[in-house]
Structure 1
Amino acid sequence: MILLVLVASVLIMGVTIYQFREINIDYHQNRMERKEEQIRQSIDLAIQKTTYPVTTENLGLIFKDEIYEIAVVQNMNFNLYTLDGQLIKSSRPKFDNDPVPTCLSAEVLNNLEASVDKRYVEKNSAAGDQYQASYTYISDRQFKPIGILNLPYFEDNSFNDKELKEFLARLGGVYFLMLLLAIGLAYFVSKYITRSLETISGMMERTDLTRRNEKIHIDKPGEEIEKLISSYNAMIDELGQSAAKLAKSEREQAWREMAKQVAHEIKNPLTPMRLSVQSFQRNFDPNDPDINEKVDEYSKTLIQQIDTMSSIASAFSNFAKMPAQQNETLNIVEVVKLALDIFNEDYIHFITEEEKIIAKLDRTQLVRVVTNLVKNAIQAVPDVESPRILVSVAVEDDMVKISVADNGVGIEKELEDKIFEPKFTTKTSGMGLGLGMVKNIVETYKGTIKFTSQPGKGTVFCVKFPREIMSNK
């Protein structure tokens, strides 16, 4: 509103100045033409009355005194020239001291001769004022040109300039009052609008993925605010669903890792047990009929149980397999930004060297890698006075590099070799599967994950993925 008032005032002032100038131009042009016509009529009348032969040589005699009378009556000085441009007579009383040219330039004579109406107007500036001079032919009684009439005309714009200044002053006062009204109205309108926006902003600041978020309810909001509230409430619903899916996904992933461990522990002794029982069955003394039957029955039962345990272990192992990769062409920068949106910590910062880095990866698994690394960084900075986490994405040769750096507690040297082991954790809660899962995903893509750490200063995890890779089934 304020901008509209300012722009309108500037445009109207510009149009006003332009209009006044156009009026001035038309006024002076019409006035000069009227004066010129009146002087020509007076000259023609003097030529009709004179007793001298009407020739170029006698123009000085014809208008010896008549030229001053005409100038006084018309309140306008003028000059008479011969056809070749020589000054004959001027109405100025002190001709010798006046800057009236005694000879017209060739340009003036040529332009006058070439003009259709035998009239030429010359425009110049003199002493800071606009100066015009018209040139027309003087004819005898047979309409034969015998001389040239020169009418100098100085434009006096002082009155019009004064009127323009007064008008602009009044217009400026009106627009200043309108500007004050616009500022006041804009203030109250903005306060009315931002009252609802402040409520929405406060709710957004309290939005947290780890807890249940409340929806916004405002009585009689405006149309735009109602759309914003509806979008926020829909986002809260989607956020709750996403949080539930993420929690479920992480639990499933944790159980997959645990299943691998269980399967490994169960399957290790199975083969030796089977071989031992079979060996015992073959080497037992067959002379004892009762013992032989019992051992055979025992062996069959034991082998059946072993096969059952092997089936259970295989089922666990199949459950623990990573899901098939759904590789797609992704903008890594955009996906990492979206992965960071679930975190509300204001000390998490994201930088990138490029706006778009294209690679073929599984979107879900990439999000898992980023979120687990960031969570690990957040858990490392709870006691830091000024926590800071920096997530960066860059390109190195044919690899996509994702780095997560924090200024947390760091990792002790003796623990660095165990950091990617499943079920290993330095925290009081959690299963210790996050970094192990990240390493599993990265290695599935034939990538690398490394870290550098200084105890008490912070840790940097660096993940590299090939930009082009075929899906692993």
Structure 2
Amino acid sequence: MRLYTNSLRNRIFFSMMVLTIIASVLIAGMSIYQFQEQAKDYHEKRLFRKEQAIKENISYVIEKTDFEVTTDNLKNIFKEEIYGLSAIHEMPIYMHDLQGKLRKSSKAQFVSDSKHSQISSRILKKLRDSEDGRYVEKFEIGGQSYRSSYSYLTDNQFKNIAILNLPYIENDDFMSYELEEFLKRLGLVYALMFFISIVLGYFLARYITRSIRSISDNLKQLDLSKRNRKLEIDHKGTEEINTLVESYNKMVDELEESAVKLATSEREQAWREMAKQVAHEIKNPLTPMRLTVQSFQRRFDPTDAEFKEKLNEYSNSLIEQIDVMSNIASAFSTYATMPAQKNEETDVCMVTQLALDIFNESNIYYIEDADSLKAVFDRTQLIRVVTNLVKNAIQASHPGRENKIVVSVKHDDKKIYLTVSDNGTGVLAEHERKIFEPKFTTKNSGMGLGLAMVKQIVENFNGTIHMKTIYGEGTTFTVTLPRS
């Protein structure tokens, strides 16, 4: 099955999939962030609550002690009580003097604790600069997060006598477990949502693009030659789709109107072209007929011993041209190709000589390399080809020299070559490509249909025609026909 990756249907489908995946990732990310923020808030509040509770217990001990409440007496005041407080609140307790030196610890006396023996000057400064007399520092050791709270202890007159340090381990095992379980459930939910999105996206994309697909299929089948089917408007569809359907139906109506106008214009143009071609084709045989009659008038002599033979010759020439005109009229009346094509075996040498007989010019020379060469060609149309080419050669004569026209019929094993050469004016290089185009002419008179007609006739019988020319020296047309 071919996948049209750029189709609107697939774009809608993949967009829904991408949106579902993006939503899943964003919600998962926000959930992780929310859990982290909750854990952070939980540890901050829990440390603050423990600190407050320990400080309340310390205040109670200070109120009940018989020792003078001074920094130096902290060891005596909390000689045993500090261990109880540490056990109750499940965290170590360190008491420092105001210069940061350790004075009392909840750890046993024989345990060395160099890390908490002295508070750094940086922390002391942070504590002094704090507005509420409290400073909390976060750090990590071996991948484990810690918080360390520093706050002032006061005597009964609210005078600072010591610094309370409470190290707190951020144990996120339970929250990590909760987050992991939540993400598992969220993953299952989104896997189900993704599957539903695939199904829903597929059918939704098909539904949205159904009318567009119908319009696309109808556009592919649009044909000016027949009546095109309109689309029905789905009143349950979207406004945009219905507007598109209305536009398509309007276009179909406009195309039908344009098709009618185009057909009418084409018919009118065809009639004009046909009229021009008919006029040209009728004019072609009229010229040699006129020349034949004029020649007959000049050379007519009732006492000539060859009178009957010459009369028959002239009559045959006239009959040939009259047949051409008759064929043209018949083809025009039946709307067929002019003139009607007959596939018959024709002697190219004999017909060529017959076509040349109508020309009285003494500068036309005929050459052949065989007495008879046969090809499948309409006899009448072959005469038209020869007369057109010879007539063009006559009209292309050079004013500065005597015109010479050579017509030859030669052959090889498979082809017959009919050539008409002249030493006339030749054809300009920029006109060579256009010489066989309809309506193109280099003469002051004529409609430029002669050579186009010759080319069409020759190609209808599987032949070819080529031109070689040198401007100012002459031109040679070569008609190549398959031998029968």
TM-score under structure 2 normalisation? Answer: 0.50
Matched with 2:237 is: 223
Q: Choose from 193, 196, 203 the match for 1:178.
A: 193
1:140 aligns to 2:155 (yes or no): yes
1:78-157 counterparts in 2 under 5 A?
78-93=93-108, 96-98=111-113, 100-157=115-172
Where does 1:29-428 land on structure 2 (aligned, <5 Å)?
A: 29-93=44-108, 96-98=111-113, 100-209=115-224, 211-218=225-232, 220=234, 222-224=236-238, 225-245=241-261, 416-418=433-435, 422=439, 423=449, 424=452
Query: How far off its partner does 1:135 sit?
Result: 0.8
Contact 1:121/1:135 (CA < 8 Å) preserved in 2? Answer: yes
The one-letter code matched in structure 2 to 1:215 is R
Quote the offset at 1:52 in angstroms: 2.7
Distance change >3 Å, CA 94–CA 128, structure 1 → 2: farther
Higher Cα Rg, which structure: 2
Is the 2:43–2:170 contact (alpha carbons within 8 Å) kept by the matching residues of 1? yes
Aligned residues: 279
Instruction: Tell me the residue number matched to 2:350.
Output: none
- 1:150 Cα deviation (Å)? 0.5
Deviation sequence 1:87-119 (CA, Å, 0-9, x none): 112212377454633221121111111111111
Report if the CA contact (8 A) 2:230-2:252 is conserved. Answer: no
Q: Which amino acid aligns with 2:99?
A: D
**How far off is 1:157 after superposition?**
0.9
**Gap change, CA 1:214 and 1:251, over 3 Å in 2:** closer
> Residues of 1 paired with 2:126 and 2:234: CA distance?
77
CA distance in 1, matches of 2:101, 2:245: 88
- Could you say what secondary structure the match of 1:150 adopts? strand
Structure 2 portions without partners, runs of 5+: 1-15, 279-429, 440-448, 458-484
Measured against aligned partners, the alpha-carbon deviations of 1:224-278 in whole angstroms (never above 9, x if no partner) come to: 444333222211222233445556667778899999999xxxxxxxxxxxxxxxx
Are 2:20 and 1:5 aligned?
yes
Q: Using the alignment, how far apart are the partners of 1:213 and 1:117 within structure 2? A: 90
CA distance in 2, matches of 1:122, 1:419: 98
1:182, CA displacement in angstroms?
A: 2.4
Give the residue type in structure 2 aligned to 1:148: I
Letter in 2 for 1:38: A
Distance 1:121 1:2 in 2: 46
The code of the aligned residue for 2:230 comes to: I
CA 94–62 in structure 1, closer or farther in 2 if over 3 Å, else same: closer
What's the Cα RMSD here? Answer: 3.6
Q: Equivalent pairs: percent with the same residue? A: 45
Structure 2 letter corresponding to 1:163 = E
The 8 Å contact of residues 200 and 216 in structure 1, kept in 2 or not, is answered as: no
Retained in 2: the 8 A contact 1:79–1:151? yes
**Aligned residue identity for 2:252:** I
In 2, the alpha carbon distance for the partners of 1:255 and 1:95 equals 124
Give the direction of change, closer, same or farther, for the CA distance of 1:100–1:419 in structure 2 (3 Å limit). farther
